[in-house]
Amino acid sequence: MIANTPEPPYYAVIFTSVRADGDQGYSAMSEKMLELAGKQDGFLGAESARNELGITVSYWKSLEAIKLWKMNFKHIEAQQTGIKTWYKRYKVRVAKVERDYGFNL
């Protein structure tokens, strides 16, 4: 599903990853993190796709909101498990969205 974002500017956190073999609780934790992020002040939505390469983009009102999410204790625990168990490689990028447009049927 495409996230319903407000008029720019806002911020995008782009998380790109290559997963390790097996689920090992990843799917359940991914759902929990999305639910938890949805309760975080400043969260605007997220989009995710996975094949061999996974990309999740979360949208935020401000850099401060992103910082608070990064410091969330449950999110930190999930990150640590990801490093140890779920990912072979990952990269995080933070970008300011200055324009958005699209087509909606």
Q: DSSP assignment of 25-40, as one string?
A: THHHHHHHHHHHHHHS
Q: How confident is the model at residue 105 (pLDDT cuts 50, 70, 90)?
A: low
Structure tokens at 55: 């990309």
CATH T-level topology, domain 10-97: Alpha-Beta Plaits (3.30.70)
- What's the average model confidence in pLDDT over 2-13? 97
Q: How far apart are the first and last CA of the chain?
A: 13
Mean of per-residue pLDDT scores for the chain: 95
Nearby residues of 57 by Cβ (< 8 Å), 6 or more positions away: 3, 12, 13, 14, 15, 46, 47, 48
72-85 pLDDT, tens per residue? 999 999 999 999 99
**Peptide bond preceding 8: is omega within 30 degrees of 0, i.e. cis?**
no
22-50 pLDDT, tens per residue? 999 999 999 999 999 999 999 999 999 99
Of 59, 31, 65, which Cα lies nearest the Cα of 44? 59
Question: Which pLDDT score is estimated for 104?
Answer: 78
CA triple 61-53-17, angle to 5 deg: 55
* Rounded distance between C-alpha atoms, residue 73 and residue 64, angstroms: 16
Q: How confident is the model at residue 1 (pLDDT cuts 50, 70, 90)?
A: confident
Q: 103 or 38, which is more confident?
A: 38
